Amino acid sequence: MSFDIVFNYILKRSGIGCGAGLDGFRELLERLGNPQDQYKIIHVAGTNGKGSVCTMLARTLECAGYKTGLFISPHLISPTERIQINHVPISKQRFSQTVVEVFQEEEEELNFFEILTAAALLYFAKQKVQYVVLETGMGGRKDPTNVCHPVFSVITSIGLDHVQYLGSSLTQIAYEKAGIIKPGVPVLSGTVNPVAREVIGKIAKEKKAPLQFIGEGEPFYEYAYDFVNNQTVLHTRDHQEWILHALGRRQTINACVAYQAAKKLNIPETDIRKGLETVEIPGRFEVKRKGNHTFILDGAHNPQAVELLMEFWEKTPFAADAALLCGFMKDKDYKKMLALLCPHFKRIILTVPPSARAAGQADLFAALPKKAKILFEPDWKKALVLAEESPRILCTGSFYLVGAVRKKLRV
C-alpha cells in the first residue's frame, strides 16, 4: 500500500475525543508484543519547548553513541519527520509497512495520534534502538504515550494552551501535564510558574518520584549572548563558551533542561556539548535565505511562545523593515497573539494556514487589535508573494503555515 494512501487514510482518523483510549491502546500494544518495553524511554511533556528539548536530548544521546529513537509532533513537511532514529526520519516505505502492521492488530478504532504512536513504538523495537525520546501529543495524563514506563520524565514549561481540552487554568493544565509522572521515576521540570510548580511538586511527592526544578541558566550557564554571528553564545559557569545554532531565549531555556536531563542520564559533558552545539531544530527561529529575501520561520502558536519570540526578535538585525506573515488555528488564542505581534511590524499579511482547523477571515477580523493595518489574503501562497515585497519576512503563528512556507522555499 502506498505512503500517500496510508497517510491520507489515517488523516481521516483525526479528532479529539475519538480513539481507543488508554486501556484500548495498552491492549493494542500487548497484541504488538509490547514494543515500548524493549528500550529505555525518556518521556517529555509541556506546553512550550518539549519538541526542542526532545530533539536536543535525542541528539545528545546519539553523540554519546546510543542508537536513539525520537518521536515528535507536529511535522513540518512530511509525517515521516515524526519518527526518527539518529536524526534520520523513517522511510515512506517503512512508515506504510509499520502502520499496516498496526492496523492488522486493531480491534477498537484508533485515532490519528494513537496510530502514529503505535507505529513509532513498533518501529523503534524492530530497529533495536537503545533509547527513545518520546514527546506527548497533548496534555500527558490521557495521552497515548503515557502507557510507557520511562527511566526519566521531563516537564518543560506550563502555559495556557489547548484550554478547550486541558482546562482553562494553569492548575488544571499542570495537573494534566504532570500525569506523566510515574511512581519512583525521576522527573525534571523547567516550569517556573509557582502555581504549576506546586501542582507538579504535589503529584511527584504522592508518587515518590524524585523531582528537580531548574530555572533559566541553572545549573548550566551564567549568561548568554543572543545572535552573535547567527548563533547564541552561552557562557558556562566553568568559563567556557558553548555555541547554539538553535536561536533565541526560548532555546537557551530549553538547552538548560536538556543539559540537566542529559547529566541525570550520566551522559559525559563532552557528548552533551557536542549534542547541543550541533543540533538543528527546524521551524524554531529558522533562518532561510532565497534570493534577496530572508525568511525567519518560527512555529510559535500560543501567547507564551509569541511573547518570547517578540522579545528575541527585537534583539536581532531582522527587526528593521520586516514584514509579518501569520496565520493561526481556530483553537488557539489568536486574539492575544495578534495583540503581541502587531506592535512590532508596519506591514502585516494575515492568511489562512493549509489546515481544516485554521482560523478564517471572520474569526480573525473579530480579534484584530484596534488601528491595526493588516492585509488579509486567505490563500497562503498568494500571501507569501505579497510578503516578499519586503526584504525580510517573519512567518509565525502556526506550524501548518511554517511547514507550508518552508516546503515552498525548498522547491
Q: What is the pLDDT of residue 237?
A: 87
In this structure, which topology does domain 3-278 adopt according to CATH? UDP-N-acetylmuramoyl-L-alanine:D-glutamate ligase (3.40.1190)
Sign of the CA dihedral with 172 first, then 327, 8, and 72 last:
negative
Q: What is the pLDDT of residue 166?
A: 54
Strand runs labelled E in 138-217: 152-155, 187-189, 211-213
Q: What is the pLDDT of residue 68?
A: 98
CA distances to 247, 277, 316, 326, 394 from 313, rounded to whole Å, are 10, 21, 5, 15, 9
Distance CA 171, CA 158 (A): 9
Q: What is the pLDDT of residue 81?
A: 96
Give 104's contacts (C-beta < 8 A, 6+ positions apart): none
Q: Residue 403 forms beta bridges with which residues?
A: none
Q: What is the pLDDT of residue 338?
A: 92
Q: What does DSSP assign to residue 97?
A: H
Q: What is the pLDDT of residue 249?
A: 80
Give 5's contacts (C-beta < 8 A, 6+ positions apart): none
Domain ranges of the chain: 3-278, 286-410
- Tallying the residues shown for the chain, one arrives at 411
Q: What is the pLDDT of residue 162?
A: 46
pLDDT digit string (tens) for 137-194?
A: 878 889 999 999 999 999 998 875 544 555 558 888 899 899 999 999 999 998 888 8
Distance CA 263, CA 365 (A): 48
Q: Which CATH number does 286-410 carry?
A: 3.90.190.20
Q: What is the pLDDT of residue 164?
A: 52
What does each of the 411 residues of the chain score in pLDDT, given as a tens digit?
789 999 989 988 876 667 888 999 999 999 999 999 999 999 999 988 899 999 999 999 999 999 999 999 989 999 999 999 999 999 999 999 999 999 999 988 899 999 999 999 999 999 999 999 999 987 888 999 999 999 999 999 887 554 455 555 888 889 989 999 999 999 999 888 888 899 999 999 999 999 999 987 888 888 887 777 778 889 988 889 999 988 888 888 899 999 999 999 999 999 999 999 999 899 999 999 988 999 999 999 999 899 989 998 988 888 888 999 999 998 888 999 999 999 999 899 999 999 888 998 888 887 777 666 789 999 999 999 999 999 999 999 999 999 999 999 875
pTM of the model: 0.92
pLDDT digit string (tens) for 240-295?
A: 999 998 888 888 889 999 999 999 999 999 999 999 999 989 999 999 998 899 99
**Is the preceding omega at residue 282 within 30 degrees of 0, hence cis?**
no
Distance CA 181, CA 224 (A): 31
